[in-house]
Structure 1
Amino acid sequence: MPLALVFAVVAVFAFSAAPAHAQILVRPAYNCPPETLERPFAPWADDANYVLVGDGGFEGGASGWQRSRAIVVEGNQPLNKRAATDAHALELAPGGTAKSPEICVGLHHPSLRFFVRKTGSPLGSLAVEVVVTTVLGLRIGLPVGLLVSSGGGWAPSPPMPVLANLLALGGRTRVALRFTSLGLSTWEIDDVYVDPYSKG
């Protein structure tokens, strides 16, 4: 499936989810750590500043990630390596899931983006969720993307909204990102970023 169609699938999937959860109030975050801003997707006409999620390059063995049927493998995405020594990615087997460490985001329509490739069977998709904590302490996964490209090679994902319009308390909040391999496909992800302010 052409990459352009992946963009369309993600956009419809993400924004159609927002109204259903429009009244969610999420827990505010304080004492957020300093951030190192990068522009990893500039070669694809995306000049936004991004922050790498905790061990989002998987060079630390997916430290802090919660995983099931997901392993760190040799073979870093080659499109825009962060460092010459980078040599790993995260592989999700069919039915596999991986949740990132939490990261602070703000209210100004942040987005997430990563590098991805699909291997094995074409019969599958990769679901992406943003996991938030409500003011009542409930953990909720909000769907923000669904990748279905037949792929084969590495590519940058489309930008996916973190649905920051739901953060009705103002300020910042902590979110985690959850990736789930649906169907029979195997997926690899690498260099997982969040744009905390959506400043281009």
Structure 2
Amino acid sequence: MRTHVVDHPLVTHKLTYLRDETTDSPTFRRLADELVTLLAYEATREIRVSPKEINTPVAPTTGVKLARPKPLVVPILRAGLGMLDGLMRLLPTAEVGFLGMIRNEETLEASTYAERLPDDLSGRQCYVLDPMLATGGTLAAAIRFLVDRGADDITAICLLAAPEGCDRLEQELSDIDIPITVVTAAMDEKLNDKGYIVPGLGDAGDRLYGVAD
């Protein structure tokens, strides 16, 4: 597994305001959307392409186009939805699937409660959207779910990551022999006793959409 922390002043700038507890939900959503687009440039660096012959106004030339099968974007519900538009801005022709996973706050284990994905993902590159790589359980389960359906290249885009989560991904996915990459805006210090990233930015889902009472 490869972990890539995107080192760019605009990334750090937007992340600073995402972390700020005074940032309201509409501003948080806008900043998250912009930050994901920046991260997506790095996340799609290895996207598959095929040659395309074209004619410019001056001469014929060979360019590239996205290869088939189309890449699949998979936001993990619910917080991953807040990252979807930022990636689709770069990949408007990609297909979108959904994976609903929830973390048990006592055991910190993830379970699947909903999915809308093709049954066969053979030969597909997948881009998983999950704002917080905290304990790593949810993301590890999501990646294994996609691999079991045939995905052969997976990139996870996370706003923040914790060392404990990355270590768990390494351990739980050590038997998977396909490229797996995590692209994130920052590797934070640690997890607290509740499994939240420190310093982090709080609960990404609540900050994106508010708390439903």
Q: Report the TM-score, using the length of structure 2 for normalisation.
A: 0.27
More strand by share: 1
Tell me: higher relative CO, structure 1 or 2? Use CA pairs within 8 A at least 6 residues apart: 1
Taking structure 1 as the reference length, what is the TM-score of the superposition?
0.28
More helix by share: 2
